[in-house]
Amino acid sequence: CKSMIFELWRPQHQRSFISSCLMRSTMVILLSLFVSLCAITLTYSVQIWDAVSYMQTGVFQTQSSDLDLEADVFAGHLKLLPGMAICEMGSANGALMAKLGPKVMPGGSLIATAPNYAELAATNAAALAAGLPSVRTFKATNVSWAPGLPPASCDVLYSRMVYHMIPKDVIALYIPQWVTALKPGGRILIVDHNPMGTHSGPRRPMSYIFGVGTMVVVPQDTEVNEITSGGFSLLEGPFEHPFFHGGYGAVYQAIPQASTS
């Protein structure tokens, strides 16, 4: 036995043993890197696929359910009733407006804002295709979220995956305008998504790919601070909105303004 042990640890055997260990360690490291790379690629491929799907249909392919169910969630938080005036900020292709519009009919009215006329036209077309009245549309600017919209026009206001697209300084201008746009007792529902793994902190990329940040998002605690600093109180949330990755929602109500008379 001793001679076998000594034989094993002769210099040539030592070199062979060390080389074998190094080769195996290198293979394990390379395999781990390959698996990690595949996982990262899959994760961001899904995010890109989701983004393309949303731009085309207004629905995220990785949703836990379809847009009808999500619209029901919106309607519940907004307490929609026939006759209400609903306003969507950033209406995209109108898919959500077309689902929520019937919930305020008969007698309801539809208002939409977007940063370009193409989205506003698509929203109106979607509403008409759903058998709804025409949508009153307003093109947003960097200083006004709905230029020309009279005060107290909306019973409710909502947005879906839009808040994070608006720069912080522009949001600061918009929030008091939302207060003015809502009727007394009106509420606003903002749905967006958190950075990966956290609910607080500054606006920052949702995630990173090899050190390069993806789209900038607004953590839910930061959103609450921004909106409640601008004339709203928090009614519900923030709560999980499980229709897309990191989704959250919060419902706010305008704080009654003191009379100037």
Mean pLDDT (the chain, rounded): 81
pLDDT tier at 256, thresholds 50, 70, 90: confident
Which tens digits make up the pLDDT trace of 73-86? 999 999 999 999 99
Q: Are 235 and 187 in contact (CB under 8 A)?
A: yes
The answer to whether residue 49 scores a pLDDT higher than 50 is no
Q: Which two tokens stand for residue 213?
A: 């940040």
Question: Of 236, 227, 239, which is closest to residue 168 (Cα–Cα)?
Answer: 227
Which tens digits make up the pLDDT trace of 177-234? 999 999 999 999 999 988 877 788 777 766 555 555 566 888 899 999 999 999 999 9
Q: Which two tokens stand for residue 249?
A: 């929602």
Q: Are 111 and 149 in contact (CB under 8 A)?
A: yes
CA dist 173 and 42 (Å) reads 39
Measure CA of the first residue to CA of the last residue in the chain; give whole Å: 104
Q: Which two tokens stand for residue 259?
A: 């009379």
Q: Are 68 and 94 in contact (CB under 8 A)?
A: no
The answer to whether residue 13 scores a pLDDT higher than 60 is no
Above pLDDT 70, what percent of the chain?
A: 73
- Per-residue burial over 17-40, b if 16 or more Cβ lie within 10 Å, else e, is eeeeeeeeeeeeeeeeeeeeeeee
pLDDT tier at 155, thresholds 50, 70, 90: very high
Q: Is the pTM for the entire model greater than 0.85?
A: no
The answer to whether residue 29 scores a pLDDT higher than 60 is yes
Q: Which residue has the tokens 């100037």?
A: 260
Note the pLDDT of residue 63. 45
CA dist 247 and 193 (Å) reads 4
Q: Which residue has the tokens 């921004």?
A: 226
Which tens digits make up the pLDDT trace of 120-152? 999 999 999 999 999 999 999 999 999 999 999
